[in-house]
């Protein structure tokens, strides 16, 4: 009897590495790798909140405000644009957000009050933005970065990048980390246009409060090196499945706290397994 042994080679699928990375997901990994895993790898959705609904609707209204002639950019027009945007978004993006019309009405009144603060931060009739809700897909070295920039203006002092926030501003000492994503956008703009933005602005409508910092080529060079290191660290984490938790005061506001392995001892012991030990193999957004 002749016995023939056939050798077969089984190729195991290698974990995917990053295809693209957004400034917001880069910020997540810098803040807490486990947070990044929940959002970008596991893609665990969390219930929409009234704050998210307000932010999305306000962004759309502010974007459309600059479609109008400068003389028509009034508070009343912005309120109308907010109402129109909410009618568009309510059923498709935020169904069953409110239990009653009265609750929705109260949210709307609060939202318009916050939106009114915008006019105490700047006069929208006095300038024309260079870009609004700019979708950027940009190669930076070996990386591909994608994001949506709220607004960019070209002034006598140079390019200024502005990010709208409908929440309350953190104390100034905690605001600097919030500029991390904006520095990435500034790097993308420099890569794309050859021009270096001169200032970054965080415009918090609930206050209102405006934080602004200058930016230069030296800082953007450092950001590019930091982004390269972050890109490599994320790829290593994807391959190894190791996304460590990094706790801070911000954990109290994290939507994933109930399933985070860092807080497993405070709840169901099974959280440690479901929240942090399984590796992810998907590419990040």
Domains, the chain, ordered by start: 50-125 (no CATH), 128-134+149-224 (3.90.320.10)
Per-residue pLDDT, 205:
96
Per-residue pLDDT, 249:
84
Per-residue pLDDT, 171:
85
DSSP the chain: ----PPP--PPPPPPP--S-B-HHHHHHHHH-HHHHIIIIIS-------HHHHHHHHHHHHHHHHTTS-GGG--HHHHHHHHHHHHHHHHHHHSTT--SSHHHHHHHHHHHHHHHHGGGGT--GGG---SEEEEEEEEEETTEEEEEEEEEEEEETTEEEEEEEEEEEPPPHHHHGGGGHHHHHHHHHHHHHHS----EEEEEEEETTEEEEEE--HHHHHHHHHHHHHHHHHHHHHHHH--------GGGGG-TTGGG-GGGGGGS-TTHHHHHHTSPP-SPP-
User: Can you give the pTM of this predicted structure?
Assistant: 0.84
Per-residue pLDDT, 14:
54
The tens place of each residue's pLDDT in the chain, 285 residues long, gives: 444 444 544 455 555 678 999 999 999 999 999 999 999 999 999 889 999 999 999 999 999 999 999 999 999 999 999 999 999 999 999 999 999 999 999 999 999 999 999 999 999 999 999 999 999 999 998 899 999 999 999 999 999 999 999 999 988 877 787 899 999 999 999 999 999 999 999 999 999 999 999 999 999 999 999 999 999 999 999 999 999 999 988 888 898 999 999 987 554 444 444 334 333 333 444
Q: How many other CB atoms are found less than 10 A from the CB of residue 117?
A: 16
Per-residue pLDDT, 18:
84
């Amino acid at each position: 009897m002749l016995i023939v042994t056939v050798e077969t080679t089984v190729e195991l699928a290698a974990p995917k590495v990053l295809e693209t990375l957004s400034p917001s997901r880069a910020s997540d990994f810098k803040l807490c790798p486990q947070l990044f895993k929940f959002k970008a790898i596991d893609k665990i959705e969390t219930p929409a909140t009234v704050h998210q609904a307000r932010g999305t609707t306000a962004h759309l209204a502010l974007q459309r405000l600059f479609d109008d002639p400068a003389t028509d950019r009034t508070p009343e027009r912005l309120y109308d644009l907010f109402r129109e945007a909410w009618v568009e978004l309510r059923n498709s993006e935020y169904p069953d957000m409110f239990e009653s019309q009265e609750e929705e009405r109260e949210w709307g009144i609060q939202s318009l009050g916050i939106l009114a603060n915008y006019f105490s931060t700047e006069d929208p009739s006095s300038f024309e933005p260079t870009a609004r809700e700019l979708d950027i897909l940009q190669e930076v070295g070996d990386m591909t970065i994608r994001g949506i920039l709220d607004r960019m203006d070209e002034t006598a002092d140079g390019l200024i990048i502005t990010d709208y926030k409908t929440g309350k501003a953190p104390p100034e000492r905690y605001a600097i980390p919030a500029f991390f994503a904006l520095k990435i956008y500034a790097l993308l703009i420099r890569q794309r246009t050859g021009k270096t933005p001169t200032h970054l602005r965080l415009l918090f409508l609930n206050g209102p409060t405006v934080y602004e910092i200058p930016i230069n080529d030296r800082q953007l060079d450092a950001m590019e090196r930091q982004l390269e290191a972050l890109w490599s660290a994320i790829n290593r984490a994807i391959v190894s499945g190791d996304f460590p938790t990094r706790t801070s005061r911000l954990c109290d506001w994290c939507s994933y706290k109930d399933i985070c392995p860092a807080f497993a001892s405070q709840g169901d012991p099974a959280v440690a397994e479901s929240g942090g030990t399984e590796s992810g193999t998907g590419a990040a957004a």
